[in-house]
Amino acid sequence: MGDGFHSRALATKGAVNCGVYALFECAVTSFLALPDVDVIQGAVVATHTEMQEPAGKRVWAYLLDDSAIELLADRDVLRVGVDHGVLLEFDPKDIRMNPCKVAAVSEPVKSRRGYDTTKRAEQAAATRRAILDSARQLFVHHGYAKTTVEQIAVEAGVAVDTIYASVGRKPALLRELVETAISGRDHPIPARQREYVLQMKAAVDAKASIEIYAAAITEIQQRMAPVFRALRDAAVSDDSCAALWHDISERRARNMRDFAADLRSTGQLRLDLSDEQVADIIWSMNAAEYWDLLVIQRGWTPEQFRIWLTDAWTRLLLAN
């Protein structure tokens, strides 16, 4: 045998040892009840980094098909590592894998069990909700600056890496809280697609449209105002939060200009007010700060706030 064969044999042995060691680490992680995502990443990175030789890639394919992986994750998730077209045979008389016995695989390796995408999507959504709920609670009660991602992970019962993979870092968490507070859903919804905006478009006149919007703002502020206070305070010292505060404010202003144009199309707006003035009046009164002044500081009920907005906008903006 030449030196080349000896070198390849050593490389294969090292790859096998690395793979077995990685799987051992995965098993320990599983027994410690750490999240699947951390287990999968650890196994994939550890083995794939070390196995660059062709023989090593065959070992990688074998390890991914091994039943031990079934304990940690569906192999469908790791399909990119399985479908290499080769597979090592196992010699039951020898606990070591024999790298010389390579059998060609004519078809891609099949998963031994189905992959329930619906269940996985539901689990991912539930995890995301838990993360956002925990972030909201901590941001509102302790402030953005004093809250760490590690604290959010503990509160949500997940790993830090799960937060990064599911939502993102702290600025992304805060933005997502603002967006979902506005939409009232688990995900952001563009302004023109929101249910109350569609109802306003279908309203019979400007007064009816204002009534719908005042009711929507009252509902939204109950979710959004606490998050906005956390964002406002964070914007003082955090550049990313300051940028988010500015972006949200400017987007609100643009949306109010669209609303003013819609109201103008009814022919019922005051002629001495420009669309820009109408938009600015609504923008100033639908802000979280306005809600905070009347409801939080002065003790108005949400229903009083809704009635006031409807009456004020009707008298201030519509022609008699």
Look at residues 303, 318, 129 and name the one whose alpha carbon lies nearest to residue 222: 303
CA dihedral 249, 253, 254, 255 (to 10 degrees): 100
CA distance 50 to 59: 11
Strands 102-104 and 86-88: antiparallel
- State the distance between the two ends of the chain, measured CA to CA, in whole angstroms: 102
User: Which pLDDT score is estimated for 115?
Assistant: 57
CA distance 303 to 283: 20
Look at residues 240, 231, 234 and name the one whose alpha carbon lies nearest to residue 289: 231
Residue numbers of the chain with a pLDDT score lower than 50: 5-106
User: Which pLDDT score is estimated for 119?
Assistant: 87
Give Cα 147 distance to the centre of its chain: 18
User: Which pLDDT score is estimated for 16?
Assistant: 43
CA angle 10-16-19, nearest 5°? 140
User: Which pLDDT score is estimated for 186?
Assistant: 75
CA distance 135 to 149: 8
User: Which pLDDT score is estimated for 64?
Assistant: 37
Q: What is the identity of the amino acid at 214?
A: A
CA distance 283 to 197: 16
Of the CA atoms within 13 Å of residue 71, those in its CB half-sphere come to 16
Buried b (16+ CB within 10 A) or exposed e, 104-141: eeeeebebeeeeeeeeeeeeeeebbebbbebbbebbbe
